Each structure stands twice: as C-alpha cells, then as structure tokens.
Amino acid sequence: MITKIQEAKVLRTFSKGGVHPAEQKLSADKAIEKAGLPKQVSIPIAQHIGAPSTPVVKKKDQVKAGDVIAQSQGFVSSNIHSSVSGTVAKIDQVIDASGFRKPCAVINVEGDEWADGIDTSADLIRDITLSAEEIRQKVLEAGIVGMGGATFPSHVKLSVPEGKEVDTLIINGVECEPYLTSDHRVMLERAEEMLVGIRILMRALGVEKALIGVEHNKPDAIAHLKNMVEGEEGMEVYGLKVKYPQGGEKQLIQALLDREVPSGGLPLDVGVVVHNVGTALAVYEAVQKNKPLIERVVTVTGKSLAKPANLLVRIGTPVKDLIEAAGGLPEDTGKVVSGGPMMGKALQTLDVPVVKGTSGILVIPEKEAKRTPEMHCIRCSRCVTVCPMGLEPYLLKQLAQQERYEELEEQSVLDCIECGSCSFTCPAHLPLLDYIRLGKSHVNQIIRNRKSK
Amino acid sequence: MTTTVLYTILSLSILGAIMAVILYIVAQKFKVYEDPRIDEVEDALPGANCGGCGYPGCRGFAEAMVKADDISEFNCPVGGNETMKEVARILGQEMEEKDPKVAVVRCNGTPQNRPQTSQYDGPSTCAIEATLYGGETGCHYGCLGKGDCVEVCEFDAIFMNEETGLPYVIDENCTACNACVTACPNDIIELRKRNKKDRKIYVSCVNQDKGALARKVCKVACIGCGKCVKVCPFDAITMENNLAYIDPVKCKLCRKCVEECPTHAILEVGFPPRKKKKEATEKQSAESQDKAKN
Amino acid sequence: MNNKVLTVSPSPHVYENTTVRKLMYGVVIALLPTLAWSVMTFGIGAIIVTLVSVVSCILFEYLIQKFLLKRQPTISDGSALVTGLLLAFNVPANLPVGIIIIGALVSIGIGKMSFGGLGTNPFNPALVGRVFLLISFPAQMTSWPIPKGFNTGYVDAQTGATPLGLLQEKGEATVSQVMESAPSYSDLFYGQMSGSLGEMAGFVLIIGLIILLYLRIISWHIPVSIILSTGIFTGILWLADPTQYADPLFHILTGGLLLGAIFMATDYVSSPMVPKAMWIYGVGIGLLTVIIRVFGSYPEGVSFAILVMNAFVPLLNRYIKPRRFGEEVQDGQ
C-alpha cells in the first residue's frame, strides 16, 4: 500500500464532493506566542464528548496549575485540570462556546505555580519507557481529548476493542478550515516533540505505520516534516490537494489509504485511528513531561484584526483576553466565531472561555456576518455535487422541513458530517445545513426511542 | 348502414356487461369491512384535523375510539365536552365532563424587561434557534420569539406582537389542541384550566436560573424567592428549581400572590381594576393585557 | 467592548460568492456568441425577434407576479431573460412579432408561473412556448429564412427548407441524393443553413458550452450524453443502411440538437440532480430525438424529446441516488 502511494505522483485527495473556500490563512507566518496570564479563568467541568466529569474542588480551595479539578466518570470521559494557580472563586453556570450555560470552575489567578512532578523545561525527551497500557493511563489522567474540535477523549481512541485490528495511525495535519493556522504552526515549531508524540501513539496502538497528512497549502510544513521523518521508521508525510473538508476523518482516511469507513462505522472498522497534530503534541507532553492538557495553541484571526496571531493559551482564558492580545476588537465586528468559519460556533458573548477543543477565534466583520436573504431552490444540484458524503442536501432539507423523519432516515441523513459545504455553495442561500441538523437530531431521538422500547 | 349501427350497439353492450361483471367480482373480493360507527363518530367530530388529540386527523381519532373499549382516556380538545358526549352516545358509553382548558404563554420577556444580548441570524424558526444556543437574550429559558407556535395554530388563536416580540393567545379562539405546546422548544406554553370570564393567575416565567442571575437577565423573571408560596392560603403554589408554579386547579384566584411577587412575575388577567394602592402592580398587568388585545 | 451585540448564526459562516442571478447571467454570457452570429447571418430579423421575446418574457413575468400572484417581482434574477433568449433562439428569425409575444406569454405564463415560478416548473419554459407555437402556427414556425449575411429585411425574407426538412421529404430518393442539395459540414458548422435563430451554427454553440463549463454553471454530463447517444443511435442506423439513413455527424450538426443539448436540456429546474440520472436523461433525449427524426412525421424532435424527458425528471430524482460514502465497504487492504 505504502509503495503504491509513494509511486503516485499526483497529490491525493478524497473522491466525493468538496469545496474550495478562500484560504485566508492570515496568521500562517506568525510564530506561536505565549499569551499573558489572565486574571480569572472559568474552566468548564465538561469539555469533551461523553459523560461529564464531577468537580473535586470547592469554593476557596487553593489550586496549582495541573491539579485535577474534575474527575472523569466512566470510560468515555476525561479529567479536567486547573490551568492556573490560584483560588477557586466559585463553581458557577457560565455560557460556553456551545451557547448554553454550563457548570464551570471559576478560578482567580494568583502567581503561576505548577503542580509537583510536571517537567516545565524545554528539554526534548526521546526515550519512551512506558508500556502501551501505561501510556493509555497517562493520556487518561492528563485529560487529553481530540484537539481538532470534536473533543473525543483520546484514551478511548487508543484502546482497540477486542476483535478489531489497527494497522495504521493517521496524523491529521490537514487544517482544511480557512483562517486557522494553529496546527500549521505546531507542525513547524514543535515538530520534534510531535514526532515523539506520534511514536508514543504508535506504541500505544501497537502499529508500525503512521501517515501524516498535510494539505498542500502548507509547503513549508510538508518540507519540514519530510526532513524530520527521515530515518524515522514507519512514518510518512503526504502532501494533499487543497480541498475542504479533507480534515474530516473519513475523508482523510480515504485520501491517504483509499479505504472507505462504512456508513455508521468508525475508522477502527477499516483498521485506522486518526489523531490530530495538536493531540500528538499533548500526548508527548503528558507522557514525557507529565504535563496535563492545560494549554493549547489558538489562532486568533480575522480580516480587520490588527495583529492576527497564534497564541499558546491556558484553558479557561476568556476569549476577550485573546482578542485584546491580537490588537483589540475591531469597530466593524459583526460576529465572533470559535473554531473555523465552516464548522465553528458563533459566540454570543466574549466572556466565553477557551476550551480544549478551541482551535481558533475568528472575528468576522459586520458586512460579512449577515446571511443573504434566501430564494427559491432552483434545483441546480450544486449541493449534491459538493456533498462529500454523497447525500442530497436539497432533499434532506425538504424532508426535515416537512417533518418526514422516517424518509429522512432512509436517505442516510445520519451520515451527514455537518461540514457545511452545501450551505456554502448554495446559490439560492438556502439554510440547508440548518434544517438537516434539525432533522438529524429528530432522527437520532427517534432511534433512541426505538432502542429503549 | 343499419348493420354497422347494430354491431356497434351489440359489441358495446356486451363489452359493458362483461366489465360490469368483472367490477362486481373485484368489488366483492376486495371489500373491506369498516365499522359504520367510525363514520358516525367522525361526523360528530369537529373535522378540523388539528391533531390535538394526538391522532393523525379526525378519522384516525374516530377509528381509535371505536376500537377502544373505554373512551374515558380520549379527549377532543376542540369539540370539548359536548362532542365527547355525542361520541360516547354513539358508542354507548358514559363520558365524564372534563375541565375546558386554554393555552397560556408563560413569558413576559419584552425587550424592555429582557434586554437583547446577541442577534440571531438564521432560519426564522424557534426550533433551529433553540438547538443553536440559548436565544437572543441572557435568559435561556424564555420565549425565542420566532413564532413556531403561531405557525402551527390551526385556529388563529395565537399571534405575535411585533412590539413585545411575544406570542399572545386569543382566548375565544383557543381550543386547547396542544399544538403550540408541542411546537415550543422551550416549553413556555401551558394548557391551564379555563376559569370564569377567562380570568387567569399564573407565573409568567419559566426561568430556572438562580435568583440573582434570573433578575439580571430579565426584570420580570421569577427569582424563586418563595414569597408567593408563603402567602397562598390554598397551598396552590409550589417551588421547584428556583421557579414557582401555581396549580390551576387548586388556585382560587384570590390574587394575594400577585401583590406579593417582587418582580411582578405573577400576572392576573381578566380581573376588574383594583383600588389605587396597588396601582403599580395593576399597571403592569394591565399593560400586558393591552398589548395582548392589540 | 462587551456591549457589542454580536450576531449568532449556525455554521457555516462563510459563503461561496454564487447567486442565482450570477448563474443566470452566466448563461446569458454563454448565449451571446450565438446571438452575435445569428445577427450576422440573419440580419435585423434576429435582433427584432430576440428583443421582442426578451422584453415580453420579462414583462409578462413582472405583470403576473405583481398583479396575479401579488408577490414581489423577481425579474432581476435573470431567469426571464434567459427564457426570453432561449425562446428567441428556437424560432425562425422572421417570425411575426405577434406570434413571438404569444410564445412569450405561454412560456412564462403556462410554462413557468402556473407551476409556481422559478424552481418549480417541471418543463423547460422556453420549450413549452416553442412547442406551443410549433403546433399552433406550423406555417410561420417552419418558414425559415435563408441565411444571407447581415440585412435589414424582416418578414418578407426569402425562405428555405432546413437540412432535416429536406431529409424528411426525400421520398424515394436516397440519402446521398438529398445530401447533394444539403449544405456541407462546414456550412452546418458555421451556420450557413436555414433554421431557427440560434440553432444553426455549431461552433458558436460549442463556445457557449465551453463558457458554461468554465464558469461551472453546468456539468458536462447532460450535453455529452445527449450528443454521444444521438451519435451512437444514428451511427447504428447509418451503418445498417447508408442509403436510407444520414450519418451521425449530419444529425449532430443539424437542427436544434446542439442548442438543445447545451442550453435547453441543461436547464437547472427541469433536469435531474445526480450524474447517474443525468446520463439516463441525456440518453433518453438522444434516443427520442433519433426516433422522432428518423421514424416520426416531424423533421425535428429535440424539443419534444426534451419535454418528454423533463416529465421523467421527478421520477429520476426519486429513484436514482448518488453513491453514498461508505455505502458498500470497499476492500482497503
């Protein structure tokens, strides 16, 4: 398989659909800067998909950076650590990036003391001494979740269930979302540590092969990584054609290995596990440096922002601090998005804290913030053409609007990855994805009811 | 010439006869027996096909009732007691009288009371806005104001007031069919017992935030202080999740709680004006009433 | 800075810069070379017919939306303009003005607005108008002016038969005898033949196709499948008996086949959504065209073929689905 890919001269990409949004990587050449410590952080108790964690601190407790403040509950769950040292002010309901109030530990920052046992030096430790099981335990304790935005607990993805076989680890350095550059900078500046992280992931999974997929709009990162993996056994770097949503797991696996994850299945079903480059770095820090996931690289960007930047930010820092660090909120701001412009969530207030899955903060000017009035569908079939999952968005929207949920299920609405390509391309500006998402949640509800019966 | 005519008539007659026989056989073979009472019951129903009973249309409802042994659990909210009595007569059963109900919108978050904190820009339906975030104001429980309830109402009994951004129920038109209750993603609308002269006393708030936060996001929010619970002589008010609830059956419309509520979250509707002492309170409710009538 | 009221909307937050209007004007741009060429071959008549058709289509759309449907008129989206142009391209360049106006009324009123306007019409509106005119005014609709370069003559222009017309009326003669009086291939390609305003010159239509594909307005499936299938079906007949049947190239270059394949069958609203269905649709049009041309009583059948296949589009959309990602598990090993 590998040799076949090596022989292929053309850049690989996924086969179905896809769109080409303007790249707008404004902060691509900005080195990662350490953001200043905030005065107060609010750390959501649940920052991952799965069971929420239970808080183990209370008001007036003293904490250090790296202390556990919420314990994971169950297998699909994750620890939450304090990202700063200081006093717990309260456990309160704070609006987070999801748009709803969620329980958060609000901590007043005092100094910057780290918990014992955390190696804060910059020395690179290459030797991996832990066994696969110990690595999983470390990843679980460090509270590492998928940092591409889905925030699925990483230790779960490292435990291969009985009967499944994994032969390849894929490292997702695609960053197909416009504007975002945090993964790009990590690949350029932290490549050595990241590669050790990949080695650790490979050991935990027991695989011999790791493929790093990077889109071709980051030639410096591809060249740098290709240089670095020379002599590293089993690691390969691939430049990919620029096409959104290449960073989607299923799309990336197809682009690199030509394997199709079956409908409703997981990458595991085709022998693959996908991790983000940020996750690989976090795993390195957790395993080699004993450092839990309490800070991450966040791209702060936007056309009218004075200084777009890539900041190393403590989890729980309010978004407004980051925007301040990037030159302040521009006058013409209309919308602030957490994440990329295609799949990110619009924020309703700037007090929202940075969480483990925040890859970027995007400030959109007023004139681009509003939607264009919708027209009637002219059946141009553009949405069908661009759908990377081979669905018919125009039809799904119609069925969702008419509440025909059974037909919606038949039309594989649950395969939708909510990449937004259909809404992006629709010349009539129909809210396709909005209704599909609504339909999806109804269909999920119906399926849950069916199961519980 | 005559033979042509003759042959034509003859062949057509034979053809017709054969067809008639075939049609008769088919009709006999595929005959579906239907309880004649279904038609009778359907005729007795209002025929609005509103779905308020939980069945797809009046026909479906009639079929279900004819099939069931006991129809006491069934109710046609539109036709009310008279219709159900008629149905019971057709099916030879007894029907207990049920209290007539009316839809009540439990939110008074006008732009003045509940300042806007963000602006929603997407499909104009509450369903989508509710999945996206908590709404355009700080209150994540209240009315989203996109009018899904108005959209589903078959009886023109609910309308959106442009100025307040809230829906209002026209009591005379409301049949308590439950459509708006299910359409509202925030469960703001409740079916409450219909009192004499359409008088109502209810907590016009569904916010479950703690008092301080609730008061911050909306001036007329229930802050869960519990004063109403203490003052109520009939034990009709309960407090759960920082939110008071007045039991419509136990409530005797004494209006004591209305005076007591510090945020005017409890509204009285349809009462004659009070003496001047409580002018403020009265003004509040009168205002909302005026708006409703607009 | 916290007092700013931010806009909140579901993702995505950026959009491609396409609008219905841009797509429609893209089609207009693709039609311009053909229009220019028609004016050069047929003279002032082409200008009059096109102007009357376009103006009346836009006017009827405006009047119907404003006064009958009481809606906000949407004539600025350019769809009426496209319908007007296409209707003009499908009639002779010397058609009396009154007939064109009737055609425009049928196109917009019956073909489009009676179904609910743009996006809901099952048939191509311009073709509905054209076929209505063809059946109602057969004499005027089939007296094609002879191309003689730019001139100012209009209704009194000399008329002649189309190449397909010659073929239809050949009687006992063989094809090669007919071919002697028919225009050469290069004449067909450059539009030196009698025919409707916009259907004669192959090369300008192909320029239009290239523009459409370059602007990503249509996909290649429909035009290619129609041209290919027409070529194959006529090729089979031609190989079977070259004395009775004309060769494939003749069939592709004559009549409205290219105009139909490139501009009429690809109309968004009345064509299928999925490539697989587009192939079926295209081959269906090709087959029906050949059948009508060779065995039917009309010399030309593209319009009928497209209208018939239009009727199948809802069925195709319902039953022909794109291949879903991960539908059948591929062997990735």
Rounded to a whole number of angstroms, the distance from the CA of B21 to the nearest CA of chain C is 36
Rounded to a whole number of angstroms, the distance from the CA of A172 to the nearest CA of chain B is 28
Residue A330 has phi, psi (to 5 degrees) of -65, 155
* Per-residue pLDDT, B275: 65
* Residue of chain A minimizing CA distance to C278: A381
Q: Would you call C10 an interface residue with chain B, using a CB distance cutoff of 8 Å?
A: yes
Are C35 and C85 members of one domain? yes
Tell me: pLDDT of B1 over 80. Answer: no
**Is there a contact between A425 and C323 if contact means CB atoms under 8 Å apart?**
no
A52-72 pLDDT, tens per residue?
A: 888 898 888 999 999 999 988
Are C175 and C267 members of one domain? yes
Contact (Cβ atoms closer than 8 angstroms) between residue B149 and residue B165: no
A177-233 pLDDT, tens per residue?
A: 999 999 999 999 999 999 999 999 999 999 999 999 999 999 999 999 999 988 888
Lowest mean pLDDT among A18-22, C7-11, C37-41, C173-177: C173-177
Quick one: chain A helix, strand, coil %, rounded to 5?
Answer: 30, 20, 45
Residue B271: pLDDT band (50, 70, 90) is confident
Q: Tokens standing for A427?
A: 């010349």
A100-127 pLDDT, tens per residue?
A: 888 899 999 998 888 888 888 888 888 8
Q: Which range, B77-86, B102-111, C68-77, is most confident?
A: B102-111
What is the distance between the alpha carbons of residues B170 and A423, in angstroms, rounded to a whole number? 38
Are C223 and C309 members of one domain? yes
Average pLDDT, stretch A390-415? 93
- Give the closest of A100, A369, A431 to B134, CB-based: A100
Residue B92, number of CB atoms within 10 A of its CB: 7
Cα dihedral C252, C256, C262, C266 sign:
negative
Residue of C72, C71, C54 whose CA lies nearest to C108: C54
Contact (Cβ atoms closer than 8 angstroms) between residue C29 and residue C82: no
Q: In A, residues 84-123, which contact B (CB 8 Å cutoff)?
A: 93, 95, 98-101
C175-215 pLDDT, tens per residue?
A: 777 777 777 777 777 777 778 888 878 889 999 999 999 99
Q: For residue C5, is it within any domain?
A: no
- Strands B189-193, B101-105: pairing is antiparallel
Domain boundary among C107, C140, C173: C140
Residue A19 has phi, psi (to 5 degrees) of -135, 170
Structurally, how many domains does chain C consist of? 2
Q: Would you call C72 an interface residue with chain A, using a CB distance cutoff of 8 Å?
A: no
Q: Which range, B59-73, B86-100, B190-204, is most confident?
A: B190-204
A259-314 pLDDT, tens per residue?
A: 999 988 889 999 999 999 999 999 999 999 999 999 999 999 999 999 999 999 99
Residue A235: pLDDT band (50, 70, 90) is very high
Are C78 and C213 members of one domain? no
What is the distance between the alpha carbons of residues C220 and C213, in angstroms, rounded to a whole number? 7
A325-337 pLDDT, tens per residue?
A: 998 899 889 999 9
* Residue of chain B minimizing CA distance to A369: B121
**Is there a contact between A99 and B133 if contact means CB atoms under 8 Å apart?**
yes
Q: Would you call B11 an interface residue with chain C, using a CB distance cutoff of 8 Å?
A: no
Q: What integer best gives the mean pLDDT of chain B? A: 86
Spell out which residues of chain B touch residue C10, defining contact as CB-CB under 8 Å. 122, 128, 132
Q: For residue C128, is it within any domain?
A: yes
Q: For residue C205, is it within any domain?
A: yes
H or E stretch covering B238: strand B237-240
B154-181 pLDDT, tens per residue?
A: 888 999 998 899 999 999 888 888 889 9
What is the distance between the alpha carbons of residues A179 and A25, in angstroms, rounded to a whole number? 4
**What are the Cα distances from residue C43, in Å, to B146, C157, C254, C258?**
58, 10, 21, 22
List of residues 6+ apart from A196 with CB closer than 8 A: A124, A125, A126, A128, A284, A288
**What are the Cα distances from residue B243, in Å, to A441, B62, B253?**
28, 39, 19
Residue C148: pLDDT band (50, 70, 90) is confident
* Per-residue pLDDT, B196: 84
Parse chain B into domains and list their residue ranges.
36-91, 101-293
Is the model more confident about C146 or about A404?
A: A404
Is the model more confident about B235 or about B286?
A: B235
* Per-residue pLDDT, C199: 82
User: Taking the CA of residue A49 as centre, how many other CA atoms within 13 Å lie in the half-sphere pointing to its CB?
Assistant: 14
* Per-residue pLDDT, B31: 83
Average pLDDT, stretch A388-394? 94
Residue of A365, A302, A291 whose CA lies nearest to A332: A365
Tell me: pLDDT of B215 over 80. Answer: yes
* In the block, residue with structure tokens 């409908």: A263
Tell me: pLDDT of B292 over 60. Answer: no
Contact (Cβ atoms closer than 8 angstroms) between residue B168 and residue B291: yes
Tell me: pLDDT of C58 over 90. Answer: yes
Residue of A397, A385, A376 whose CA lies nearest to C21: A376
Q: For residue C67, is it within any domain?
A: yes
Q: For residue C41, is it within any domain?
A: yes
What is the distance between the alpha carbons of residues A184 and A215, in angstroms, rounded to a whole number? 10
Spell out which residues of chain C touch residue B125, defining contact as CB-CB under 8 Å. none
Residue of C215, C14, C277, C326 whose CA lies nearest to A19: C14
Sheet holding A80-81, edge to edge: A54-55, A68-71, A80-81
What is the distance between the alpha carbons of residues C71 and C148, in angstroms, rounded to a whole number? 45
Residue A40: pLDDT band (50, 70, 90) is very high
Rounded to a whole number of angstroms, the distance from the CA of B169 to the nearest CA of chain A is 25
Tell me: pLDDT of A323 over 80. Answer: yes
- Strands A235-240, A272-276: pairing is unpaired
Q: Which fold has domain B36-91?
A: 3-methyladenine DNA Glycosylase II; Chain A, domain 3 (1.10.15)
* Per-residue pLDDT, A10: 64
- The number of residues in chain A equals 453
* Residue of chain C minimizing CA distance to A255: C332
Residue C1: pLDDT band (50, 70, 90) is very low
* Per-residue pLDDT, C154: 65
* Per-residue pLDDT, A243: 92
**What are the Cα distances from residue B216, in Å, to A440, B115, B207, B220, C263?**
35, 10, 12, 10, 61
Contact (Cβ atoms closer than 8 angstroms) between residue C130 and residue C91: yes
- Give the closest of B118, B122, B140 to A434, CB-based: B122
H or E stretch covering B150: helix B148-152
Q: Tokens standing for C10?
A: 């579901």
Q: Would you call A268 an interface residue with chain B, using a CB distance cutoff of 8 Å?
A: no
Residue A157, number of CB atoms within 10 A of its CB: 24
Q: For residue C329, is it within any domain?
A: no
Instruction: Output Rg (C-alpha) for chain A, integer angstroms.
Output: 22
Spell out which residues of chain B touch residue C6, defining contact as CB-CB under 8 Å. 118-119
Are C191 and C99 members of one domain? no
ipTM: 0.87
Q: What integer best gives the mean pLDDT of chain C? A: 87
C116: left (phi over 0), alpha (psi -120 to 50) or beta: left
What is the distance between the alpha carbons of residues C205 and C188, in angstroms, rounded to a whole number? 12
Percent of chain C whose predicted confidence (pLDDT) is above 70? 94
* Per-residue pLDDT, C157: 56
Contact (Cβ atoms closer than 8 angstroms) between residue A82 and residue A65: yes
Are C232 and C302 members of one domain? yes
* Per-residue pLDDT, B288: 54
The CATH number of the structural domain formed by B101-293 is 3.30.70.20
What is the distance between the alpha carbons of residues B111 and B174, in angstroms, rounded to a whole number? 26
Are C213 and C303 members of one domain? yes
Q: Tokens standing for C37?
A: 């060429």
Q: What domains can you pick out in chain A, each with its CATH number? A: 38-109+292-368 (3.10.20.600), 144-289 (3.40.50.11540), 382-452 (no CATH)
Contact (Cβ atoms closer than 8 angstroms) between residue B37 and residue B91: yes
Are C170 and C103 members of one domain? no
Residue C171: pLDDT band (50, 70, 90) is low
Residue B16, number of CB atoms within 10 A of its CB: 10
Residue of C18, C131, C118 whose CA lies nearest to C73: C118
Is the model more confident about B49 or about C267?
A: C267
Residue of B225, B195, B223, B228 whose CA lies nearest to B210: B223
Spell out which residues of chain C touch residue B117, defining contact as CB-CB under 8 Å. 5
Contact (Cβ atoms closer than 8 angstroms) between residue A79 and residue A53: yes
Average pLDDT, stretch A30-50? 89
Residue A103, number of CB atoms within 10 A of its CB: 17
* Per-residue pLDDT, A5: 46
* Per-residue pLDDT, A2: 44
Domain, as residue range, for C29 = 20-140
Residue of A158, A163, A155, A224 whose CA lies nearest to A189: A224
- How would DSSP label each residue in B78-98? TTHHHHHHHHHHHHT------
Tell me: pLDDT of B280 over 70. Answer: no
Residue A117, number of CB atoms within 10 A of its CB: 9
What is the distance between the alpha carbons of residues B206 and B216, in angstroms, rounded to a whole number? 15
Residue A4: pLDDT band (50, 70, 90) is very low
Residue C54: pLDDT band (50, 70, 90) is very high
Residue type, A416: C
* Per-residue pLDDT, B284: 53
What is the distance between the alpha carbons of residues A168 and C323, in angstroms, rounded to a whole number? 26
Average pLDDT, stretch A355-366? 92
Average pLDDT, stretch C32-46? 88
* Per-residue pLDDT, A7: 43
Residue of B145, B128, B127, B288 whose CA lies nearest to B204: B288
- The number of residues in chain C equals 333
Q: For residue C156, is it within any domain?
A: no
Are C221 and C289 members of one domain? yes
What is the distance between the alpha carbons of residues A213 and A236, in angstroms, rounded to a whole number? 9
What is the distance between the alpha carbons of residues A309 and A180, in angstroms, rounded to a whole number? 10
Is-same-fold flag (B36-91; B101-293)? Answer: no
Q: For residue C326, is it within any domain?
A: no
* Per-residue pLDDT, C193: 76
Q: What integer best gives the mean pLDDT of chain A? A: 90
Spell out which residues of chain B touch residue C7, defining contact as CB-CB under 8 Å. 118-121
Tell me: pLDDT of B47 over 50. Answer: yes
Are C179 and C312 members of one domain? yes
Lowest mean pLDDT among A43-52, A78-87, B249-258: A43-52
